[in-house]
Amino acid sequence: NAGVTQTPKFQVLKTGQSMTLQCAQDMNHEYMSWYRQDPGMGLRLIHYSVGAGITDQGEVPNGYNVSRSTTEDFPLRLLSAAPSQTSVYFCASSYSAQLGGQLHSPLHFGNGTRLTVT
């Protein structure tokens, strides 16, 4: 298994540009999520999904959109990039305890996308 794959690894955007961060997992996990991590800070949840067709907001959703058309993919869209969105973005997935999956299924993280908005 490749696990959780994030692309691109690095990206530089100008203010106002839009882009999509890709996340794919091959473990058949129901639950997927996006976090951002700023220097010296912990991870903050942006959006999450408990299954295909279902998404919900996390702690810091403003400026980001998500969709979950398949179990495998959970892209994160920046609608109009701002310097405040400069960060490292991590995608993570796990089985869903609520759906009868493994109760202690841990989060599996990708290696991150480093985004700079100038």
Partner 1 sequence: DAKTTQPTSMDCAEGRAANLPCNHSTISGNEYVYWYRQIHSQGPQYIIHGLKNNETNEMASLIITEDRKSSTLILPHATLRDTAVYYCIVRPINRGAQKLVFGQGTRLTINP
- Residue ranges binding partner 1 (CB under 8 A): 4, 31, 33, 35, 42-43, 45, 48, 50, 58, 88, 90, 92, 94-98, 101, 103-112
Q: How far is Cα 8 from Cα 76, in angstroms, rounded to an integer?
A: 12
**Token digits for 4?**
């959780």
Task: Report the nearest approach of partner 1 to the CB of residue 80 (Å).
Answer: 26
73 vs 109, beta carbon nearer partner 1: 109
- Look at the block and give the residue holding tokens 């996390």: 58
90 vs 117, beta carbon nearer partner 1: 90
Q: How far is Cα 111 from Cα 16, in angstroms, rounded to an integer?
A: 26
